[in-house]
Chains A and B, each alone.
Chain A
Amino acid sequence: MAPIRLLVGCVLALQVFTAALALERGCPTGTGNNTYANPALSLPYDGYLPAIDNETMYLHHTRHAGGAINNVNAILARYPTLRDSVTLADLVSKIGLKGFTHKYKIADNDTTALRNNAGSMINHAIFWRIMTSYNTSSPAAHLQPDLSALINATWGSPAGMLDALRSSASSLFGSGWAWVVYRSNGSLAIVNTPNQDNPLMQRFAAPATHGTPLLGVDVWEHAYYLRYRNVRASYLAQWVYLVDWAVVQRNYELAKAGSIDSLYC
């Protein structure tokens, strides 16, 4: 029966394609021990110069972000239902909420550990995706009229938005991240979160910081210390040249649709 063979063939091909995509995105594959992987960066480690040096990218990607992924896998091994039925973005959004904790019977220390490590995972996933080669992406080339108008209305211009982001990132004391977020009322805002918290975190992020991240910048010292030492402002002044405006636009469209692209499923 040719049509059925064709159909079966298509379904199989789709499954293989999806699995390959899942692997590429570092998602649990639904096979074996069902763990998250650390997807490769879109550029080689030295591809972010002169803003970020290759040793920093290597350490950041493999040890800091990679370590968090290993930690998440170790924790989720003890919560197979949670692991298999909740996406990373959903986990990050709901970790710490009473109903979520109760549903998956998550111990308090694991809530803390997931806050820190799954937070780190999603933060870095957003971060890697939002960066491209230095000074190769422009807002004019990639922002659609709706987002462009919204940015201009809020900050005067994309440059104004980046200035405000840098200001927020500079003022953050200790470790954390600064973000441009899309709020549920359709507005944009710049917020920052401490440590590895993410604006998606309903329970742990301060209400004023809630939203869907469109872009974020890491200001933990490990993100810039090797090249910039204590001069965070110099790092930020260079980092803004890495922003991939096509991804900003894509993240905005996903956010409007109630979704988030974090590289992970």
Chain B
Amino acid sequence: MALALQARAASLLASQRLARPIAGRRAVATKALELKSPPYPLDALEPHMSKETLDFHWGNHHRAYLDNMNKQIAGTPLEGKSLEEVVVASWNNGNPSPVFNNAAQVWNHTFFWESMKPNGGGAPTGALADAIARDFGSFDKFKDEFKAAGMTQFGSGWAWLNADKSGKLSISKTPNAVTPVVEGKTPILTVDVWEHAYYIDVRNRRPDYLTTFIEKLVNWDAVASRYAAAQQ
């Protein structure tokens, strides 16, 4: 599902909401936000993305962002908020607090796992396919442009496919932990281009990683659902 900042949009990470203390009684200890697993076993993306990559990328990097975020917000007004609320609040209108890097990376990585599936790739169909043809000229041109965004994000970051409320698509790239969510956009697909995302599998060959991602891993069903949700 697409994340939207508009009120009442279904949260992508609803399972990570905290138990809230009940007013007027002794406060219930609030649970920290929890790490959501990818929607497939860690070896399910092989041979395109190794189990070892998932073990470290989800098990160490993603987990560390979550643990660090929880430590940072414990005992602060952000404790007890949803992940999306923490991301937006810590972005602080472009003057991010130290919490932002961790919170946004928690969000980004969950969005990334859910952008992939075993036996993924292929091509989108239906309204999404039509929009891609309309907005990029062809599916091939979209793929080239998406990969170019991933290639040209210098240093660490992400490449994104976004949709606006009218269904118009755009590709963007962000550095480090920045996410289009705080730029007022609705992402529907992402690829992580931090070196840790691909170094175990293809060393420095980011172009090969991006090609494999697009051709073999993208969960077009998930992207299509997010696309539909973005227009509601």
Closest to B195 in A: A221
Residue in A116, A220, A221, A226 whose Cβ sees the most chain B Cβ within 10 Å: A221
Q: Which of A220-243 contact B (CB under 8 A)?
A: 220-222, 225-226, 229-230
Stretch at the interface among B2-10, B15-23, B56-64, B140-148: B56-64
How far, in angstroms, from A172 to B56 measured CA to CA in the complex? Answer: 20
On chain A, the residues within 8 Å of B71 by CB distance are none
On chain A, the residues within 8 Å of B154 by CB distance are 116, 195-196
Q: Verify B204–A222 contact, CB threshold 8 A.
A: yes
Q: Which of A154-212 contact B (CB under 8 A)?
A: 173-176, 194-196
How far, in angstroms, from A64 to B199 measured CA to CA in the complex? Answer: 12
What are the interface flags for B141-166 relative to A under an 8 Å C-beta threshold, 1 for contact and 0 otherwise? 00000000000001111000000000
How far, in angstroms, from A116 to B154 measured CA to CA in the complex? Answer: 8
Q: Verify B204–A63 contact, CB threshold 8 A.
A: yes
What are the interface flags for A236-254 relative to B under an 8 Å C-beta threshold, 1 for contact and 0 otherwise? 0000000000000000000
Closest to B57 in A: A230
Closest to B101 in A: A173
On chain A, the residues within 8 Å of B157 by CB distance are 174
Q: Verify A222–B195 contact, CB threshold 8 A.
A: yes
Min C-beta distance of A65 to chain B, whole Å: 11
A63-B203 contact in complex given A174-B175, A230-B60, C-beta closer than 8 Å: yes
On chain B, the residues within 8 Å of A67 by CB distance are 204
Contact of B196 among A176, A194, A230 (CB under 8 A): A230
Contact of A225 among B101, B155, B177, B199 (CB under 8 A): B199
Q: Verify A195–B155 contact, CB threshold 8 A.
A: yes
Q: Verify B60–A229 contact, CB threshold 8 A.
A: yes
On chain B, the residues within 8 Å of A230 by CB distance are 56, 60-61, 64, 196
Min C-beta distance of B170 to chain A, whole Å: 21
On chain A, the residues within 8 Å of B56 by CB distance are 229-230
How far, in angstroms, from A217 to B184 measured CA to CA in the complex? Answer: 36
Residue in B64, B101, B176 whose Cβ sees the most chain A Cβ within 10 Å: B176
How far, in angstroms, from A59 to B203 measured CA to CA in the complex? Answer: 8
What are the interface flags for B109-130 relative to A under an 8 Å C-beta threshold, 1 for contact and 0 otherwise? 0000000000000000000000
Contact of A174 among B60, B64, B156, B200 (CB under 8 A): B156
On chain A, the residues within 8 Å of B200 by CB distance are 225
Closest to B61 in A: A230
Closest to B156 in A: A174
Q: Verify B175–A221 contact, CB threshold 8 A.
A: no
A sample of 24 cross-chain residue pairs with beta-carbon separation below 8 angstroms, ordered by A number, consists of A63-B203, A63-B204, A67-B204, A116-B154, A173-B101, A173-B176, A174-B156, A174-B157, A174-B176, A174-B177, A174-B194, A175-B155, A196-B154, A220-B195, A221-B156, A221-B199, A222-B195, A222-B204, A225-B195, A225-B199, A229-B196, A230-B56, A230-B60, A230-B61
Q: What residues of chain A have their CB less than 8 Å away from a CB belonging to chain B?
A: 59, 63-64, 67, 116, 173-176, 194-196, 220-222, 225-226, 229-230
Additional A-B contact list (20), CB under 8 Å, known A116-B154, A230-B56: A59-B204, A63-B204, A67-B204, A173-B176, A174-B175, A174-B177, A175-B156, A175-B195, A195-B154, A195-B155, A220-B195, A221-B156, A221-B194, A221-B195, A221-B199, A222-B204, A226-B199, A229-B56, A230-B61, A230-B196
